[in-house]
Amino acid sequence: MESGWKKEKDPFHVIHKVPSGDGFYVRAKHAQLVKKDPEAAIVWFWKAINGGDRVDSALKDMAVVMKQLDRTEEAIEAVKSFRGLCSRHAQESLDNKCGKVDEQIVLLKHKLKLIYLGEAFNGKPTKTARSHGKKFQVSIKQESSRILGNLGWAYMQKSNYMAAEVVYRKAQMIEPDANKALNLCHCLIKQARYDEVDLVLQEVLQYKLPGCDDMKSRNRADELLFELEANRPTSTFLSNLPGLSVEDGFVESLEREMNERAPTRSRRLPIFEEISQYRNQLAC
């Protein structure tokens, strides 16, 4: 009798295992656990994240709800975009909620395969998507570029900058934007291909791509420009030395010796194989 009486007297939030209060996060948990309305819960989780209300828990719980609704790829993107707002100790937990990088790569490549085979969007040219609790229409072209961008980011997390470069270039061919261009610059810097970095970076600095006017993109472009100048080798002193010029084959012989000493590795990438065979379907 005593335990039954206590249960009746317990506060509502204890019975339903939801936190007390009236903030965005509390409302999200109420929608998730009490009303059993996952779509409404996601809307409130977005508000909690944007409002700085228990961001660690809100982002992790939202990823769980999204995965339950078979929106795993959207959960991955949300975690990737907002994990910087979370505390350091929450990072490993976020990885567990969302999946490791290798799992993300498999998932993203599967999404691309469905698009290539015409099985995405149920054969329709567009689909309804959600972001920050809002609905909008997404085309096949936009979805392809977005998923490729996410795949490029996943390869960057594994420091596979060659694979990331191939994917970002393909994404830019479909639908270019400043964010993917800056990620491509990062990949090229990591490969010490500074002249190519300069070409891509100028497109952002000269406002030639969508998203170039975003302050975050501007700041990142400035950072990459500084990194480019700091890493670019200065070769003017070589041309001033008597009897030595680039035409003498000095650079070529040095590169050949480095290649002979370095372990050989294939430049053919599995993702390039998969994308190239469908290049006609992805042409702009």
- pLDDT of the residue at 133: 59
- pLDDT of the residue at 161: 92
Tell me how far apart the alpha carbons of residues 28 and 45 are, in angstroms, rounded to a whole number.
Answer: 5
Least confident residue range of 26-40, 60-74, 93-107, 266-280: 266-280
Orientation of helix 140-157 relative to helix 161-174, angle to 10°: 160
Residue 43 has pLDDT above 50, yes or no: yes
- pLDDT of the residue at 101: 78
- pLDDT of the residue at 248: 47
- pLDDT of the residue at 267: 43
State the average pLDDT over residues 148-165: 90
Residue 205 has pLDDT above 90, yes or no: yes
Percent of the chain's residues with pLDDT above 90: 28
DSSP-assigned letters across all residues of 203-229: HHHTT-STTTT-HHHHHHHHHHHHHHH
- Give the contacts of 78 (CB within 8 A, at least 6 positions apart): 59, 62, 63, 66
Per-domain residue ranges of the chain: 8-87+94-99
- pLDDT of the residue at 254: 47
Exposure letters 28-45 (e unless 16+ CB within 10 A, then b): bbbbbeeeeebebbbbbb
pLDDT tens sequence across 166-198: 999 999 999 999 999 999 999 999 999 999 999
pTM over 0.95: no
Dihedrals phi, psi of 262, to nearest 5 degrees:
-80, 150
State the average pLDDT over residues 10-23: 58
- pLDDT of the residue at 221: 92
Q: How many residues does the chain have?
A: 284
State the average pLDDT over residues 194-206: 93
Least confident residue range of 36-40, 124-128, 144-148: 124-128
Residue 121 has pLDDT above 60, yes or no: yes
Residue type at position 228: L
Tell me how far apart the alpha carbons of residues 179 and 238 are, in angstroms, rounded to a whole number.
Answer: 36
Which residue bears the tokens 């944007």?
A: 50
> Mean pLDDT, the chain, as a whole number?
76
- pLDDT of the residue at 2: 45
pLDDT tens sequence across 84-118: 777 766 655 555 555 577 878 888 888 888 888 88
8-87+94-99: which CATH number, 1.10.620, 1.10.10, 3.30.70, 1.25.40? 1.25.40
Of 154, 138, 52, 146, nearest in space to 106 by CA: 154
Element (H, E) at 202: helix 194-205
Tell me how far apart the alpha carbons of residues 49 and 54 are, in angstroms, rounded to a whole number.
Answer: 7
Tell me how far apart the alpha carbons of residues 229 and 205 are, in angstroms, rounded to a whole number.
Answer: 15
